[in-house]
Structure 1
Amino acid sequence: MTADATGYDVLIVGFGPTGAVAASLLGRLGHRTLVIDRLTDVYDKPRAIALDHEIFRHFDNMGLAEAISPYIEPFTASQHFGVDGQLIRRIDMVAKPYPLGYTPSMVFSQPAVEAELRRHATSFPNVRAELGVELLDLVQTSDRVEARLKDADGRQRSVTARYVLGCDGASSTVREIAGLPLEDLTFDEPWLVVDVRVNQDALVKLPQCSAQFCNPARPVSFLIGPKNHRRWEIMLLPGEDARQMERPENVWKLLAPWLTPQDGELWRAASYRFHALVAADWRNGRILIAGDAAHQQPPFIGQGMCQGLRDATNVVWKLDRVLRGTSPDSLLNSYTVERKQHVIELTGKIKAIGQSICERDAAAARQRDAQLLAQGGGKPLQITRQEIIPPLRDGLVARHETPARGSLFPQPRIASEGSVRLLDKVTGPGLRVFIDGRTSEAAALLALCAAHAEISAAAIAPPGTPDALEETEGVLQNWFDRHGVIVAVVRPDHYVFGTARNAAELADLLSEIDLRLRDVPAGQANKIPDLRMEKTP
């Protein structure tokens, strides 16, 4: 076995969407990054199909929006139909003006988007990608991790990195080596996922919105993907053999209510067990996990990949601070605290929707239908996908609860330099303070922020307000009014650390975030265990 003399800042195991986004973010921040994957190319069939405005905001911050936009379309509303085929619930998007500046819910073609994510990651000179490479073992010490790798030709070698991020999927080798057990969130259902490229003249046969057919005889989900891509998620019944149900002749029998084999091309048919699982801890010393390695959840509102990319954007800005020496290693403990609770809470909501859809008892299903219609005042219940996504409840957010703490900060459109641009294009990401430019205290609040060199500050107000960025649609003005605050302290991943109603409260927030970023309490430090194992020849 050979040793690579090059030491990396971060080794990423797994070059799927989560690993590719993490590699890009680390590359942009200047960290020496090695990303490996057992496979040599992007999987050529779709798995994930949905993303949301939070994730697209990060893609835009990364400079990827233009490259991936051709493969993305707005997500249609999802209509839920009851036992007798009646509409019982509708899940849609929030109305314009959109809070983050983009269509809130989207569908995408994973192979094409994933290829762009990989291309972007490897465009940084400090990011190296090695494909066809398998992780065999990890051994960590107080200041680094040694990884034993096997190349496609069977040659073994070792590399070192200051941290390892495991993005290597549901059967994660990194998670297994690090001894991070999974907790069962009690959902386990067999489903068949079918993707079809539908002929243009057959599209009129299909629903024009995405749909959930909550039929106790066999629950089915129908999703409208980009262009002519349509997906069915079909529950398998007791006694049905999953592998047999994947056979084309059986798939077309299941699709018979909608299409015939002459109506399109069967792109993929794969059986899955929809699980709800979360790792007990997402960190062991210098080893961290993200994406499906850290959690798996049912797909009923299309948040699986989004959750993995939230992991990446959360952990990378913290790793950046630790690697640069501006925060202690114990800052990384907030990663598990924040993301695990978020995953558990969102999975709980997804499970409730899934269990409602999956009801197999006809009497209970009719009761469900009546309850949903009653909740809607006799009409189909209407909710938005955005209200289902929870805020951060704990971790690196203000200790005293303030309005909007832990929520995503909006992104208004700003009139700047003769054009209208989204807020992040004007200010960039990073630690930021945003001030309601209508307040008489704006100048004093800006002066207060000036003493904190790491934090940028801006006042935002309607057109005509002196010394403020001009927003064009009132998104942020309405946000300040709704929460009764005049200041928000915002993290690099766009989550609100805390809000303030006056200068004294802002001074407290600035002192708190400064202290917590530089002096995480020693009691939170994660002791680095010795993972040395007996080696086999």
Structure 2
Amino acid sequence: MEHSKHYDIAIVGYGPTGVTLANLLLKQGLSVLVIEREANILQLPRAIRFDAECMRVFQTIGITEQLLQEIAPGPGMKFQDANGELLITWERPVVKGNQQWSSAYRIHQPDLEKVLRDHIADHPLLDLKLRHDVYKVDQSSESCSIYYEDLSKGTLHQAQAKFVIGCDGARSLIRRLIGTTFDDLNLHSQWLVVDFIANEKENDLGDYSIQYCDPKRPMSYIKGTGQRRRWEIMVMPEDDVKSLTHDEKIWSLLEDYIQPEQATIERAAIYTFHALLAKNWVKDRLIIAGDAAHQTPPFMGQGMAAGIRDAANLAWKLKQVIQDQQDISLIQSYFTERYSHVSEFIQGAVQFGKIIQNYCEDAEFQVQTAKLKNFITPIPKLGAGFYRPEHHQAGFISPQFLFENQKLSDDLVGYQFALVTRDASILTGSELQHLQAEYAGQMTVLAANAAIADWLQTEQAVAAIIRPDRYIFGFAQDRDSLIQLLEHAGIAMFAQV
């Protein structure tokens, strides 16, 4: 057995969550070991949506220029009944909103993963082990011993890491080692998922996704990037599951919408959609993220996005504990904050799933549908954690500010805390110098502009601190409350002034 190399973080799994987390950790100067079973990126289509908040994460990583060549904004979703009557409209504006990105984007998952992997392919702090498999992890008070096999050679290896992060999917080994069970949000149904490559651009049903709430055969249509089209078809009790993935059966199910001469079937598979939340995501130095921690039906397009949010929430906290000597209890806030946030999206997906599957059969679902007629994407608040709850907007995602030179605030800040004010005199020159010198790499002080001033005035505050993941840490109404806010964030204002 090859014995221990030492790393700050070991990541198990190199899908979208794992590779996003690796990018953010490396950006902060942490050493990272990645262990992944597969030799290459799986080229089949899987996730096909992410949102503006995810785009801000990719902006922080520094890949938006490459990514914009692979993605397209998506306008939203419509629900209709068996007679074609419109039930629900879910608009997702393609114009840029207050996060300075469109509400939703289409993506081919392998393209996204390639851009993320290529960005750190030659990073000196990354040790990437493809075709390797973890079989054991031991914990001590200071670190973890991680044991893994080189599947191509059959050799065994060991490494040390301060934390092990399981981004290893629905069957996660790291989740099993944590020893947690699931909260079940009560939606389990089988669906046939079929991905097509259309021959002509005209062979689609428009830019909107469509949910067909037909009790005889609920279905979903989703337009992907380029010529990609997806149909999700609910498996009914009378179906012969073994024959559902056969080409002739697929074409017969979709004969009203698409013909064999119009497209090529790229993939057909039967999935069981689940709504599950692991009850615990952190046990000492073992942590889970992405599908290892939560599984959602696809009806809100939030599966991959939730894992990317996990990575953005977790990476800076790991850096604070490892490099900045923050208490390890900070890591527990990752679980409490993200559990509540992702739960709201999964509950929304369950509600939509039950409407799609039960509309016209149950009066209760017709009432629910009427209430959701003009649905607006929720913006959940974090669960209790590392922010000051006194202000009602603390714990929510912050806006991104556009400066007069067309610079975006996230680019100016980087992956660290930001202090924004609408009154430059609230701190003295020596105090500002202290912040910029003593906490370089931890906090950026943004010069006030009109957008920042308007936002703070609306929130009846003179200043705010925004966390590295762009969530609002807290607001200050005057100089004294700003000093207290900085101290709560771990910034010792007068230590060297």
Whether TM-score is above 0.5 comes out as: yes
Deviation of 1:191 (Å) = 1.0
Partner Cα distance (1:450, 1:190) in 2:
59
Partner Cα distance (2:222, 2:454) in 1:
33
Deviation of 1:332 (Å) = 0.8
Are the counterparts in 1 of residues 74 and 94 from structure 2 also a CA contact under 8 Å?
no
Rate the CA distance shift 1:3–1:238 in 2: closer, same or farther, 3 A. Answer: same
Rate the CA distance shift 1:166–1:243 in 2: closer, same or farther, 3 A. Answer: farther
Q: Which residue is 1:171 aligned to?
A: 171
Deviation string 1:475-506 (CA, Å, 9 cap, x unpaired) is x4553344333322111110001122222322
Q: Secondary structure at the match of 2:142?
A: coil
Are the counterparts in 2 of residues 403 and 499 from structure 1 also a CA contact under 8 Å?
no
Deviation of 1:22 (Å) = 1.0
Rate the CA distance shift 1:483–1:413 in 2: closer, same or farther, 3 A. Answer: same
Deviation of 1:177 (Å) = 2.2
Structure 2 counterpart of 1:276, one-letter code: A
Q: Which residue is 1:507 aligned to?
A: 483
Deviation of 1:457 (Å) = 1.9
Deviation string 1:380-430 (CA, Å, 9 cap, x unpaired) is x22332xx13121311111x43031111111121123xxx12112223231
Are the counterparts in 2 of residues 28 and 124 from structure 1 also a CA contact under 8 Å?
no
- 2:382 is equivalent to residue 392 of structure 1: yes
Task: Give the one of 372, 384, 406 matched to 2:395.
Answer: 406
Task: Give the one of 424, 427, 430 matched to 1:442.
Answer: 424
Task: Give the one of 379, 403, 407 matched to 1:421.
Answer: 407
How many residue pairs end up in the alignment?
A: 485
Structure 1 counterpart of 2:401, one-letter code: P
Q: Which residue is 1:192 aligned to?
A: 192
Q: Secondary structure at the match of 1:103?
A: coil
- Give unpaired runs (5+ residues) of structure 1: 463-473, 517-537
- 2:382 is equivalent to residue 382 of structure 1: no
Partner Cα distance (1:445, 1:350) in 2:
46
Rate the CA distance shift 1:370–1:395 in 2: closer, same or farther, 3 A. Answer: closer
Q: TM-score, normalised by structure 1?
A: 0.86
Q: Which residue is 1:32 aligned to?
A: 31
Partner Cα distance (1:328, 1:363) in 2:
53
Q: Secondary structure at the match of 1:183?
A: strand
Deviation of 1:263 (Å) = 0.6
Q: Secondary structure at the match of 1:312?
A: helix
Q: Secondary structure at the match of 1:389?
A: coil
Q: Which residue is 1:162 aligned to?
A: 162
Partner Cα distance (1:68, 1:291) in 2:
21
Q: Which residue is 2:265 aligned to?
A: 266
Are the counterparts in 2 of residues 220 and 233 from structure 1 also a CA contact under 8 Å?
yes
Are the counterparts in 1 of residues 201 and 227 from structure 2 also a CA contact under 8 Å?
no
Rate the CA distance shift 1:372–1:292 in 2: closer, same or farther, 3 A. Answer: closer
After TM superposition, the structure 1 = structure 2 runs for residues 48-59 of structure 1, keeping only pairs within 5 Å, are 48-59=47-58
Structure 2 counterpart of 1:105, one-letter code: A
More moved, 502-511 vs 32-41: 502-511
Percent identity over the alignment is: 32
Q: Which residue is 1:115 aligned to?
A: 114
Q: Secondary structure at the match of 1:405?
A: coil
Q: TM-score, normalised by structure 2?
A: 0.92
Partner Cα distance (1:121, 1:280) in 2:
33
Are the counterparts in 2 of residues 487 and 499 from structure 1 also a CA contact under 8 Å?
yes
Partner Cα distance (2:217, 2:428) in 1:
59
RMSD: 2.1
- 2:469 is equivalent to residue 497 of structure 1: no
Q: Which residue is 1:23 aligned to?
A: 22
Rate the CA distance shift 1:498–1:245 in 2: closer, same or farther, 3 A. Answer: same
Partner Cα distance (2:260, 2:16) in 1:
32
Partner Cα distance (1:318, 1:358) in 2:
40
Q: Which residue is 1:332 aligned to?
A: 331
Q: Which residue is 1:466 aligned to?
A: none
